[in-house]
Amino acid sequence: MPLIRVTDEGTHIKDRRPSRHKPITLLWAIGRLAAEQGRTGDHLVEWQTFREEVGPLLRDFGLPNSRVTPQYPFWHLRSSGLWDVEGIDTHEGTPTPSQLAAAGARAGLGKDAAKVLRRSPARAEAIGLICSRHLPDVDRVDSHYSAAAHIRGLGAPHLGPDQLSNLLCLCPNHHIEFDRFAIYIEEDWTVRRNSTGAVEYELKLHADHVIDQDHIRYHRALCGHR
């Protein structure tokens, strides 16, 4: 899969400006893939989960006054050659959210794309290509990139749920440290260094993102703290 295909994917034009829906969705999918390292099987997610996770990103980082329509990238990214949709037959136009929910539709990076993007250098290159071509004016002050990090790991032995309540939005460095139990989160949302107990920072919370404290306690216990 040539990475240039990531930037060649066509985007809808609104008010003479290309929509950000597809690029934002691809960044979300790449971040999710990084969080699922070691997980077997496909990387498709159900429509409801997709809407809950991607919808807020489209609202916060989409074009000003742009409608939040996560069903658009969920369905139309198929034309990129990077994306698979399962559970719903070919449909004229874009399926409605209710049609996607009723069909139990799932979507995400295809197996070939996921195989390439599992490699950190490939992910970094893809993210750079997407941001430079499609999102040049988004978050340019500090050039930060965040990824979705599962609190309780997916699959055995942790069996964490693939839900928003089991996800944190972390920078790549803190994501790795969290997965390797180098940092943990207290009940008051302060983040501590496991080796020293020193407070690193306080987790910023969003009213629309409710985190399950049971998952936080589970991760903290794995770090040796109650």
Structure confidence by residue, pLDDT tens digits, 130-168? 877 877 766 544 445 677 889 998 888 899 998 889 999
How far apart, in whole angstroms, are the C-alpha atoms of residue 162 and residue 208?
Answer: 17
The tokens 């050659």 sit on which residue?
81
Task: Tell me, yes or no, whether 104 and 152 share the same domain.
Answer: no
**Tens of pLDDT along 90-135?**
667 889 999 999 999 999 999 999 988 888 778 878 887 887 787 7
Helix H or strand E segment including 223: none
Helical pair 21-35 and 47-61, crossing angle rounded to 10 deg: 120
Task: Tell me, yes or no, whether 151 and 130 share the same domain.
Answer: no
Q: CA angle, 223 as apex, 221 and 226 as ends, to 5°?
A: 35
Tell me what pLDDT residue 143 has.
46
Tell me what pLDDT residue 7 has.
47
Range of the domain at 215: 146-226
Task: Tell me, yes or no, whether 127 and 16 share the same domain.
Answer: yes
How far apart, in whole angstroms, are the C-alpha atoms of residue 184 and residue 178?
Answer: 7
How far apart, in whole angstroms, are the C-alpha atoms of residue 33 and residue 109?
Answer: 9
Tell me what pLDDT residue 171 has.
78
Task: Tell me, yes or no, whether 5 and 43 share the same domain.
Answer: yes
**Tens of pLDDT along 5-39?**
554 455 554 545 568 899 999 999 988 887 776 56
Mean pLDDT of 33-58: 82
Look at residues 84, 118, 140 and tell me which one is the last residue of a structural domain. 140
Task: Tell me, yes or no, whether 191 and 122 share the same domain.
Answer: no
Tell me what pLDDT residue 148 has.
81
Q: CA angle, 31 as apex, 62 and 48 as ends, to 5°?
A: 65
Tell me what pLDDT residue 170 has.
84
Task: Tell me, yes or no, whether 163 and 198 share the same domain.
Answer: yes
Task: Tell me, yes or no, whether 20 and 108 share the same domain.
Answer: yes
Helix H or strand E segment including 4: helix 4-8
Look at residues 116, 140, 164 and tell me which one is the last residue of a structural domain. 140
Tell me what pLDDT residue 2 has.
45
Task: Tell me, yes or no, whether 169 and 119 share the same domain.
Answer: no
Higher-confidence residue of 143 and 226: namely 226
Please count the structural domains in the chain: 2
Q: Quick check: 65 pLDDT over 80?
A: no
Phi/psi class of residue 129: alpha, beta or left (left: φ > 0; alpha: ψ in -120 to 50)? alpha
Mean pLDDT of 194-214: 90
Task: Tell me, yes or no, whether 21 and 44 share the same domain.
Answer: yes
Task: Tell me, yes or no, whether 133 and 215 share the same domain.
Answer: no
Look at residues 140, 158, 179 and tell me which one is the last residue of a structural domain. 140
Q: Quick check: 194 pLDDT over 70?
A: yes
Tell me what pLDDT residue 137 has.
66
Task: Tell me, yes or no, whether 203 and 178 share the same domain.
Answer: yes
30 contact partners, CB below 8 Å, separation of at least 6: 109, 117, 123, 126, 127
Q: Which among 59, 70, 134, 135 is positioned nearest to 107, based on CA atoms?
A: 70
Parallel/antiparallel/unpaired status of strands 199-202 and 45-46: unpaired
Query: Which two three-digit tokens encode residue 138?
Result: 């988004």
- Least confident range of 80-84, 171-175, 208-212: 171-175
Task: Tell me, yes or no, whether 93 and 161 share the same domain.
Answer: no
How far apart, in whole angstroms, are the C-alpha atoms of residue 138 and residue 140?
Answer: 6
